[in-house]
Chains A and B, each alone.
Chain A
Amino acid sequence: MSKAEKVSRRSFMKTAAASIVGLAVGAGIGYSVSRMDGAGPTETVTVTTGTGAGEFPFNVPVKGDTPAERAINAANYLLEQNPEWKGSELVIAHPGGYGPGYDAMKDEWEQKTGTKLVHSDIPVNELFDKIMVEAISRTGGYDLLCIQPMHVSDLAAAGVLYQLDDASKWFDNRQHGKPDGYIYPLEYIMPMYGGKLWGYVHDGDVFTTYYNKSWMDEPAEQEGFETQYGKPLTTAETIREYLDLGEWFTRPDDNKWGINENREVNRNYIYFWAYFNSREYPNKYPFDDEMNPTVTDDDSIEVAEAFVEAVKYMPPGHLALSGITTYESFAQGLIFENINFPSAANKYNDEASVSRGKWITDVVPGWMVKGPDGKEVLLRRSVQGAGWITSVNNHSKKKELAVAFAQYLTDPQKLILAHLAPGWHDPCRYNAVGEDAPQELKENRGPLLPPFEKNASIVTPVIAGIRGATEYNTVLSKNLHAAMLEVSMGKTPDVVKVLEDSADIWKEITERLGREQQIEEWLAYKKWYPTVII
């Protein structure tokens, strides 16, 4: 091998000069590109000034009897003002499974405005990550964003979302009250952050409890259960009763199991909050008013122990399942009960389902707690599982048109079409539940609808409405999953440590994001939790 030739000073200086010139030219090109129209960052927007407030052209004539008509008329007006938008597309980023619902609604809009809806399907676990990149890249590649309530705070604070308060009032999109407004308090706990509106709800995801009625009605089961537990075999009012039912119907030799909730590693926090939020009157909040975690007290430990105990009554390997695969065992008639998403009814009511016609739903069970007058009272709280809202990308190149389309997509009658379509759009307005729901929807969703409004009236959020919500929830979820794993392997997990570890990380998150502002946001959001007892 030859010796490396010595580099002369001249050669070195030439190479260094070429590098410096290249660096300077490269930096210059980069800077120039960043200043080009549409390529660089847009104006800074902050929550306090109100993102988008006043930007929507409020001289748009308001014409139309329904929110959808008003949206279409406004869109056509906007298209006249912006002819380059005619024949264009509006891109919506949404999780897999939502496409059919949007497709069911879009026809009238596309016919009357000439603009097309384009789907951008994203796996649900990656949706937030991909949308959040817009905070940095600001490409406007998505016009509309289908996001979860727990995403709202971070996306809004980072300037990704367009504020919709004024547009909502302008269009009168039936935000509140019967006969077709949003079921209270969904319109508050889902799309609000910092006191502002950031999206229109289109999927309530109000949890309910499913029961295998055919098992429940068997006389032998009723007699045996009552003998063992000293109470009749009926739907559970408390979490303890829920677990007793799960225990009673767990018979591995017969491949029958009590419970099949979705306990996947990144999303089981949803189910934890279903157990947790009713542990104290009026609600067991995850934080106190100083943003200190409350998940390490005795009540929380009891909740966590109940939560991991349920794993004993689940089929083997259930912890490794995710998404709709967790619904399969109930649909196959192997499970007695589960607290679950309303969209599970689509699977359970499917013609191929063994459980079709054999299940009922009821209000989510709760805990006996000290009531407002000091006496013991049954407190039940449902949870708003994931929940989806249609928001507008603040960096969209056709923002105003996107606002009109978001308005259209959440019209009360249009949403019925989405609820009827395959996919995961679940009821969120009064006109889709109870006695006044369309007959077709009642048949489509089966026994889901009767207690839906009741569950919705006591619905509580997962951690939402504050920055870092995704992180608070996901950290807890992963720690709980590790504990549940130990139960599935026949060990006894240290739930106290799980909760303490989670609380420690939560404290770090709070400090990192700024305690003062977190407290302010928490107090502003917490007031939307329900206080009713049903």
Chain B
Amino acid sequence: MALSDWFRIPEKFSTLMIIPVQIVMNFTAMIPFALTWYVGMTNWQPQITPFFWEAQFVGIQNFLKIPGDDLFVASLARTLLIVAVCVPVEFLLGFGQAYVLSRNFRGRQAIRVIAIVPMMMVPIVTGYVFYLMFIPTGPVSSFINLITGRTEPILFFADPNLALMTIMLADIWQWTPFIFLIFISSILALPQDPINAAYVLGASRGYTFRRVMLPMLKTPIMIALILRSIECFKVMELPWIMTQGGPGYSTFTIQMHLYESAFKYLKYGFTNAQSLTIFITMIIIGWYASKPLRGG
């Protein structure tokens, strides 16, 4: 086979084209991933051994210790609570917004653009804005006092439940447009014939929505829920800026726990094991959750 064959024959050329991408991916993803597994099976702490290859290999011990790490379990539970609250609310609000704004009316384009502005803000900025809104001298407390007649400021960040609620509100405000974006494009791309046919045959608006539109939106619904759940699970910027995980541990998410465990407490080996455990768990959950998408 001549060298020129690699450039003339499409099959061979496509193979050749894979190699640069493969190199980059291996260098930036696969090798670090393999190292993560290795380090997760050591007790590496840089103040004990500067290099990870000098750290003691402990096998799966780190993984076995994970259920006993109360802080890990509590942070994970707290993060799942955030996901369980935020994602459905974002879904309902985003879907509703998309449904309403999918209709034809004057100014719809401008309103659709405005609707996605929160998503374009940097999460740190969103966090800081919400922090300023909810401090005792902020507008939220003042407004609530104005309409209820209270005189004392509301201490959102000094109450564990209220602090968590502010984090959730910030997340919902920022990421509802993401759901909106998915559904506005999906709804606008729906074939109109079945929908019009349903109306012609006397179906009500609600019936048409439930029995005609929703089934056609099954795929974007799954995609929106899976993507948003994965992203919400990684929430860190908002509690980092707004509460630093406090008061106490009430807004301490799993990402914050992993960050602190690795970069403050320097437990690189153990944190790697925890991260990999979450990674594998998410893959399994994602695999099963996306089954309807693969079913065809």
Contact = CB atoms under 8 A, between A and B. Distances in A.
Interface of A: 1, 14-15, 18-19, 21-23, 25-27, 29-30, 41, 44-45, 125, 128-129, 132-133, 135-136, 153-154, 157-159, 264-266, 316-320, 322, 467-468, 470-471, 474, 478, 481-482, 485, 488-489, 512-514
Interface string B32-55: 000000000001011110110000
B265 interface: yes
B248 A30 contact: no
B157 interface: yes
A471 B264 contact: yes
Contacts of B155: 316-317, 320
B48 A470 contact: no
Contacts, number: 140
Given A18-B22, A129-B263, A513 B158 contact: no
Nearest to B131: A320
A512 B158 contact: no
A158 B266 CA distance: 10
B50 A481 contact: no
A482 to B, nearest CB: 3
B265 A22 contact: no
Contact of B263 (A19, A44, A133, A158): A133
Contact of A512 (B22, B45, B247, B259): B45
Contacts of A133: 263
Given A14-B15, A23-B30, A489-B159, A132 B51 contact: no
Interface string B238-251: 00000111111110
20 contacts: A1-B296, A19-B18, A22-B25, A23-B22, A25-B23, A29-B27, A41-B51, A44-B51, A129-B259, A129-B263, A132-B46, A132-B266, A133-B263, A153-B47, A157-B47, A266-B246, A320-B243, A322-B244, A468-B47, A513-B45
Nearest to A509: B265
Interface in B84-130: none
A485 B153 CA distance: 17
Contacts of A320: 135, 155, 157-158, 163, 243, 246-247
Nearest to B68: A508
A22 B47 contact: no
Interface in B157-178: 157-160, 163
Interface centre among A22, A132, A136 (most CB of B within 10 A): A22
Contacts of B50: 41, 44-45, 135, 158-159
Contacts of A482: 247-249
A488 B159 CA distance: 9
A265 B244 CA distance: 8
B23 A18 contact: no
B265 A470 contact: yes
A482 B243 CA distance: 13
Contacts of A316: 136, 152-153, 155, 158
Contact of B247 (A1, A153, A265): A265
A513 B19 CA distance: 44
B201 interface: no
Going nearest first, the 7 A-B pairs with the smallest beta carbon separation are A22-B22, A482-B248, A265-B246, A26-B26, A320-B157, A157-B47, A129-B263
Q: Is the interface of B mostly helix, strand, loop or mixed?
A: loop
B48 A513 contact: yes
Q: Which of A41, A128, A153, A320 has the most chain B CB within a 10 Å cutoff?
A: A320
Do most interface residues of chain A lie in helix, strand or loop, or is the interface mixed?
helix
B38 to A, nearest CB: 14
Contact of B15 (A18, A45, A266): A18
B147 interface: no
Contacts of A45: 50
A319 B265 contact: no
Contact of B46 (A21, A135, A265): A135
A158 B46 contact: yes
Given A264-B244, A266-B244, 18 more contacts: A18-B22, A19-B18, A19-B22, A21-B19, A27-B26, A27-B27, A132-B263, A157-B47, A266-B246, A316-B155, A317-B157, A320-B243, A468-B265, A478-B246, A489-B159, A512-B45, A512-B267, A513-B48
A15 B18 CA distance: 8
Contacts of B159: 489
B64 interface: no
Contact of A154 (B15, B47, B250): B47
Interface of B: 11, 15, 18-19, 21-27, 30-31, 43, 45-48, 50-51, 135-136, 152-153, 155, 157-160, 163, 243-250, 259-260, 263-267, 296
Contacts of A265: 243-248
B160 A485 contact: yes
A98 B267 CA distance: 29
A27 B18 contact: no
Contacts of A153: 47
Given A128-B264, A157-B47, A26 B24 contact: yes
Contacts of A266: 244, 246
Contacts of B266: 132, 154, 158, 471
A15 B263 contact: no
Given A22-B18, A29-B27, A481 B46 contact: no
Contacts of A317: 136, 153, 155, 157-158
A27 B32 CA distance: 11
Contact of B264 (A29, A264, A470): A470
A139 B117 CA distance: 38
Nearest to B263: A129
A129 B246 CA distance: 19
Contacts of B47: 135, 153-154, 157-158, 467-468, 513
B78 to A, nearest CB: 13
Contact of A26 (B11, B31, B243, B249): B31
Contacts of A319: 158, 246-247
A29 to B, nearest CB: 6
Nearest to A252: B152
A83 to B, nearest CB: 32
Given A26-B31, A478-B249, A482-B249, A488 B158 contact: yes
Given A29-B23, A317-B136, A512-B45, A481 B30 contact: no
A489 B26 CA distance: 53
Contacts of B267: 512
B289 to A, nearest CB: 20
A44 B48 CA distance: 12
Contacts of B157: 317, 320
B12 to A, nearest CB: 8
Contact of A27 (B31, B152, B246): B31
Contacts of A478: 245-246, 248-249
B15 A15 contact: yes
B167 to A, nearest CB: 13
Contacts of B27: 26-27, 29-30
Contacts of A470: 264-265
Nearest to B54: A44
Which residue, of B11, B155, B243, B296, has the highest number of chain A Cβ atoms within 10 A? B155
